[in-house]
Amino acid sequence: MRHALFDSQRLMRDQLRSALKRGLLAVLDIGTEKTSCLILRIDPARLASGARENGALGGFAAMRVIGAGTTQSRGVRLGEITDMEECERAIRTALQRAEKNAGVRVDQVVAAVSGGRPTSFGATGDAEVMSGEVSEADVAAALVGCPEPPLEEGREILHALPVNFTLDGASFLSDPRGMNGQSLAVDMHVLSVASAPLRNLARCVRRCDLELAGVVTAPYAAGLASLVEDEQELGAACVDMGAGSTGVSIFLRKQLICLDSARVGGAHVTRDISEAFSLETAIAERMKVLHGGVVATGLDDRELISAPVLGGEGQERTLTRAALIGVIRPRVEEIFEEVRMLLDRAGFQGLPSRRIVLTGGGSQLPGLEDAARRVLGQRVRVGRPLRVAGLPQNVTGPAFSALVGLAVYSVRPHDEFWDFEAPSGLSGGTRMRRAVRWFKDNW
Amino acid sequence: MIAPVRAAQRLTRRLRPAPPAPFETPRRRRDPSPSRLRYRLDRLGRRGYVRFALRRLAPPAALMLMALGAWQSATLREAVHERVESLRASLMDRPEFAVSRLEIVGGAPELQARVSNRLGLSFPVSSLRLDLPALKTEIETMPGVARAVPKVMPDGALRIGLVQRAPEALWRWDGQLHLVDADGVLISPVAHRADRADLPLILGEGADRAVAEALVLWKRAEPIHDRLRGLIRMGERRWSLALGGDVLVHLPAENPEAALQRLLALDAADDLLDREISVIDFRDPQRPVLRLTARAVAELERAKALIKGKDA
């Protein structure tokens, strides 16, 4: 793999670093149903000291949420932006609310992309260690040694995470720097997404006078926020049930090893209800939230719900809750079937611990766990996002896992491919020629 | 956003209808998203320097501009001036500050009457309007007043302590007799020398500037007060004594007392002043000179001739 591919990523990393130094950062989740924004205040001194004491999770003590804003998304379908103007307005609304809440102005924002058909690849590269001790340059050389993933036209690499290092046959190292050995091998997880949604997102954000300091896939962020540390260590899948898409991220040894998404979600449930009972979408949504469920009981046959008929002037129709559940359940089961297919394709069955954590707005349906157990296996729970200091009560629900995960990610981003220094592959002559050209260009 | 706008928003929020019941079609609400301009302004307003300018610099600047505008408009300035004046007047005319009578202490009744005439105050007057230092200087410029101490008493009286000048000599100047004090300051005119026979009469150019010297001589000359008609300042440097019977005594500029002493001694021993002498000149202390009267000279010549004739 070549470093030249990741210039924009490196620029975003620089933005993120400067934002962390300044201590103010916004995170933005543009979902199908809602656009939400958090503003974080970060204490750079505590961030540095926390890293020494507590490892990867030490950064949270240095982070505090000082503002939150949520608004309804428009112009987003299946996690992808379809109307730039509307989406931009949603971003402006959410960000302005959060800024007003916090009383500050932020310029750097880390955003989540939930659609874009993410695809995972594995890649392995190796390198000889130059001196006895593994240095950053050795790691970079090993990473560069990875073969290029088979990228289709119109796709971009969003994450390139070194998940495992092997040093002289000793595997499962998370960071080999400073260790002794001769040959270093690295397993890399490369995640690619369609570049059009990514570009649209970047453009939307820039049109709101903001600087993009990073893009993270939403299922990854949701996994970071809703899986506890041991689940990430032992192997677990996070199912992020959004409105437009359902993302699956699989973690092992605190590394993201696979990520995939199904383009079906909670919005489809609402649409089924709307179609089945000919209701307005807003009313169908409300009915789903207030009365929806997955497992019907005998009592539900007698519980009557009345709702205005679509287009009927003041007419109302009455339906039982059992009928409602009868519409919701097949769609939920279809979603779980999709998830199981994704998990099977990723080889989830081979992991030591096969826990599944359901999160996202769709996971709030009552009785969802039972339905999931029937399809996905016994080890299923519904997860809420991690507790972060200063998080308002209305942002603590499972619908905000991806948002909180973004905050978690931004404070302590994983070292990715582009964070390791590029080995200078330039010979002396090329360098000289470049210097001369630079002088010519500038004077 | 500014406070009145907020208050208005709060009011409209209270007046807004209740939220719709379940499954009632919600009313079409205004789009909550800020316009691009609004969003940009809002974010600009959150910049540190803009906040500083709006909070710390703008209010004083606005105040200063308003003050400047008010200063520029003449009518407003006049109105403010008038108001301030009326306020001041009402404060000054309070009964606590009123002065209702004049009390003059010291000095002759005639002088007191003159002072009160000169001041011409109409009572009651506010003590804040009285300019006591000006009063003091005005009274002290009046002839016959040595010192004046005006003071507002707590019982509402303006009390003026007067110290009258003591008349020490009579000064004939320009054909008119004046009373003068020891410093030579005029007190009042006098009609006749006989009105103040007890005081010495001085005359001559610059006599008023050397009254103290004249007084010393006057005191020394006590034995001949009945003869002494007056003291004449000669050439602004020395005194001559004018005695009855057209006798002039020229005293020297330096140490005139010693010369006077000598004159008195001569008079006591030889009755000098009873003789026919018109001028006694002590200007040269080594050699006093006498000038006889014309009759005495003639008499002397006759006597001399008689003696000569008898001899002859």
Give the pLDDT score at B58.
Answer: 93
Could you tell me if the ipTM is greater than 0.95?
A: no
Q: Pick A99's closest partner by Cβ from B23, B26, B46.
A: B46
Q: Which CATH number is associated with domain B169-303? A: 3.40.50.11690
Contacts 24+ apart (CB under 8 A), B125-132: B125/B98, B125/B99, B126/B92, B126/B93, B126/B94, B126/B97, B126/B98, B126/B99, B127/B97, B127/B98, B127/B99, B127/B152, B128/B91, B128/B92, B128/B97, B129/B92, B130/B99, B130/B158
- Which residues in chain B are contacts of A308 at CB distance < 8 A? 23-25
Of B22, B26, B40, which is closest to A209 when you measure between CB atoms? B40
B24 → chain A, closest CA residue: A308
Q: How many residues can be counted in chain B?
A: 312
Compute the distance between CA of residue A191 and CA of residue A149 in angstroms, rounded to an integer: 9
Instruction: Point out the residue among B25, B33, B46 whose CB comes nearest to the CB of A105.
Output: B46
User: Closest by alpha carbon to A289, among A360, A240, A361, A370?
Assistant: A361
> Which residues in chain A have their CB less than 8 angstroms from residue B25's CB?
280, 283, 308
Rounded distance, CA A98 to CA A414, Å? 26
Q: What is the pLDDT of residue A2?
A: 67
3-state secondary structure chain A: CCHHHHHHHHHHHHHHHHHHHHCEEEEEEECCCEEEEEEEEECHHHHHHHHHHHHHHHHHHHEEEEEEEEEECCCEECCEECCHHHHHHHHHHHHHHHHHHHCCCCCEEEEEECCCCCEEEEEEEEEECCCCECCHHHHHHHHHCCCCCCCCCCEEEEEEEEEEEEECCEEEECCCCCCECCEEEEEEEEEEEEHHHHHHHHHHHHHCCCEEEEEEEHHHHHHHHHCCHHHHHHCEEEEEECCCCEEEEEEECCEEEEEEEECCCHHHHHHHHHHHHCCCHHHHHHHHHHHCCCCCCHHHHCCEEEEECCCCCCCEEEEEHHHHHHHHHHHHHHHHHHHHHHHHHHCHHHCCCCEEEEECHHHHCCCHHHHHHHHHCCCEEECCCCCCCCCCHHHCCHHHHHHHHHHHHHHCCCCCHHHCCCCCCCCHHHHHHHHHHHHHHHC
CB-based contact A113:A215 (threshold 8 Å): yes
Residues of chain B with pLDDT under 50: none
**In CATH, which of 3.30.460.10, 3.30.1490.110, 3.40.50.10890, 3.30.450.20 is domain A119-194?**
3.30.1490.110
Residue type, A443: W
Q: Could you tell me which CATH number the domain at B95-164 has?
A: 3.10.20.310
Residues of chain A with pLDDT under 50: none
Q: Residue B26's pLDDT is what?
A: 59
Q: What is the CATH number of domain A266-331?
A: 3.90.640.10
B6 CB within 8 Å of a chain A CB = no
- Say how far apart CA A168 and CA B279 lie, in whole Å: 150
Task: Tell me the average pLDDT of chain B.
Answer: 83
B49 CB within 8 Å of a chain A CB: no
Closest to B47 (Cα-Cα) out of A98, A21, A18, A99: A99
User: Which residue in A407, A405, A57 sits closest to A229, CA to CA?
Assistant: A57
Distance CA B276, CA B270 (A): 13
A137: Cβ contacts below 8 Å, ≥ 6 apart = A130, A421, A423
B159 with B153: CB under 8 angstroms? yes
A377 burial (CB, 10 Å; 0-12 / 13-18 / 19+) is middle
| Interface contact flag, B43 A99, Cβ < 8 Å | yes
Q: What was the pLDDT predicted at B205?
A: 81
Check B23 against A90: CB less than 8 A apart. Answer: no
Domain boundaries of chain B, sorted by first residue: 95-164, 169-303
Domain boundaries, chain A: 119-194, 266-331
Asked if B40 reaches chain A (Cβ–Cβ under 8 Å), the answer is yes
> Phi and psi dihedrals of A127, rounded to 5?
-155, 155
Closest Cβ–Cβ partner in B22, B23, B39 for A96: B39
Q: For residue A282, which residues of chain B lie inside 8 Å, CB to CB?
A: 26
Rounded distance between C-alpha atoms, residue A386 and residue A395, angstroms: 11
| Identity of residue A72 | Q
Q: State the smallest CA–CA distance between residue B29 and chain A in angstroms.
A: 13
pLDDT of residue B27: 63
- Residue A42 and residue A53 in contact, taking contact as beta carbons nearer than 8 Å: no
CA dist., res. B27 & res. A49, Å (int): 53
CA B45 from centre of chain: 66
